[in-house]
Amino acid sequence: MRATSSVLASVLVAGLAVSARAQPPEDGTHTSYARYTLLIDGTSLAMLAAGRLAGGDDPSAGPQAVAIVGLIDGMFGVPALHGARGHGERAARSMGMRAGLAGLGMLVQSRFTDCDGFRRCFDPTGPGVLVGMVVASALDALLMTAEHHDAPALKPVAIAIDGGAVFGVAGDL
């Protein structure tokens, strides 16, 4: 059952990336695909939080698996979307920002946690990571999702014909 839910969640994220790629903007417009990044991140963060809350302080294998799948989707889902839309540099920046802010959140969390072992101090599904992922999601949606597509270049054309001329426009469409 856990494997099935993990596969379904991964298929959902991949489907969102494909659907976002399948809707290209019109030429000459400014667009944003922030709604897709927020949807992917929202699903991932919900899985992370639900797995964490269902497991409590001593999570069993089921809730922990849901939280880990949410963490993985949160780290790789939106960078995969950036890559699918042809923005390799944005994908790398998004991945670095997500890893950095999640790691920073985990370090801050370890500072304020009563640690009785390495696992309790550096919990990859803890609240510090969740806060870091929320901040990364917001920054990603605000700063890395704008697209501009130039309008096709059209040029005036005049063609002389017997008894007159034809005027029009031509260009790369």
Share of the chain above pLDDT 70, in %: 73
Of the candidate ranges 26-30, 37-41, 62-66, the one whose mean pLDDT is the lowest:
26-30
DSSP SS3 for 133: helix
What's the whole-number mean pLDDT along residues 19-30?
54
The predicted model gives 53-71 an average pLDDT of 77
38: pLDDT confidence band, cut at 50, 70 and 90?
Answer: very high
pLDDT in tens, 79-100: 999 999 999 999 999 999 999 9
What three-state secondary structure class fits 117? Answer: coil
DSSP 20-72: HHTSPPPTT-EEE-HHHHHHHHHHHHHHHHHHHHHHTTS--HHHHHHHHHHHH
pTM: 0.68
Residue 119: the pLDDT is 59
DSSP 151: P
For position 22, what pLDDT does the model report?
42
Q: Is the dihedral of CA 145, 77, 43, 123 positive or negative?
A: negative
Question: Taking residues 106-134, what's their average pLDDT?
Answer: 78
Q: Which residue has the higher pLDDT, 122 or 47?
A: 47
